[in-house]
Amino acid sequence: MPIKTIFLDRDGVINKEVNYLSKIDDFEFIEGIFDTCLYFQKLGYQIIIITNQSGIARGYYSEDDYQLISKWMLKQFKENGITILDIFHCPHGPESTCNCRKPQPGMFFQAHDKYDIDMCNSWMIGDKEADVKAANSAGINHTILVRTGHIIDEANSNAGYILDSVQQTKQLITG
Ligand SMILES: [Zn+2]
């Protein structure tokens, strides 16, 4: 059976936005993220992280630095009872013509190719319009932006919902 999935952006949704986060020491989980992910699991969702990491292309940190943070982050989730099915990241910069850097939908298609995902019953939770655009282009119509990351141009947003925090998504995603 196709799996319904919660796609999460990383910076600004899972952890506090830091410009080009490169060290575990600077990684701070946003309040309520574990509790909310446990809730998603209880509803039968898989959780996949989809993240732009142009700091790699810009030379601010290496692929290895990124992987170290990822491994550590997954361990923290695990210790809180949460299984993250997978993480997809785009290492390219804004001038790249790759199809994975959001707002391009490539990472969602990678996830869809790898797993049998029910895109119609999946959600994207992000903090930038690029998250919404990428999800929509991949056939995910349920989109939420949270105000814990970048400033959102709310008047011009195509997000389905704009909420203060990831915790508030529990009131929206109920089945
Ligand atoms: Zn890319």
What is the chain's mean pLDDT, rounded? 97
Percent residues over pLDDT 90 in the chain: 98
Residue 30 pLDDT > 90: yes
Distance 119 CA to ligand 1 centre (A): 21
Per-residue DSSP letter, 156: G
Query: Is residue 151 classed exposed, middle or buried when 0-12, 13-18 and 19+ CB atoms within 10 A define those classes?
Result: exposed
Give 54 Cα–ligand 1 centroid separation in angstroms: 8
When pLDDT is cut at 50, 70 and 90, the band that residue 1 belongs to is: confident
User: How far is CA 103 from its chain centroid?
Assistant: 13
Q: Is the pLDDT of residue 88 over 90?
A: yes
How much is the pLDDT for 102?
Answer: 98
Ligand 1 center–CA 35 separation, angstroms: 31
CA of 78 relative to ligand 1 center, distance in Å: 27
| Cα 175 to middle of ligand 1, angstroms | 32
